[in-house]
Amino acid sequence: MAEQWTILSPVAKRPAAMTEAQTYALGRPIEGVRVGLRVDFAWRSFRFIVDEWSRLLEADGAEARQLWVETERGEVRQYNPNDLRTDIDEWSRLIDCGLAGLGN
pLDDT one-digit tens code per residue, 41-88: 777 778 888 899 999 999 999 999 988 876 555 555 555 656 666 777
The pLDDT value recorded for residue 54 is 94
Average pLDDT, the chain: 79
Residue 27 lies in a domain: no
Q: What is the pLDDT of residue 73?
A: 54
Residue at 55 is within a domain: yes
28 CB neighbour count, 10 Å cutoff: 9
Look at residue 23 and tell me if it is in a domain.
no
Closest Cα to residue 99, out of 10, 23, 41?
Answer: 23
Q: Is the pTM of this model over 0.75?
A: no
Would 40 be classed as within a structural domain?
yes
Q: Which of 4-8, 61-65, 75-79, 98-102 has the lowest mean pLDDT?
A: 75-79
Domain-located, residue 17: no
Position 22 in a domain: no
Is 29 strand, coil or helix? coil
The answer to the question of residue 104 being in a domain is no
* CA distances to 14, 49, 87 from 74, in Å: 35, 23, 22
Residue 104: predicted pLDDT = 43
- Structurally, the chain folds into a number of domains equal to 1
* Domain carrying residue 66: 34-72+79-99
H helix and E strand count, the chain? 2, 3
- Please check whether residue 21 lies inside any domain of the structure: no
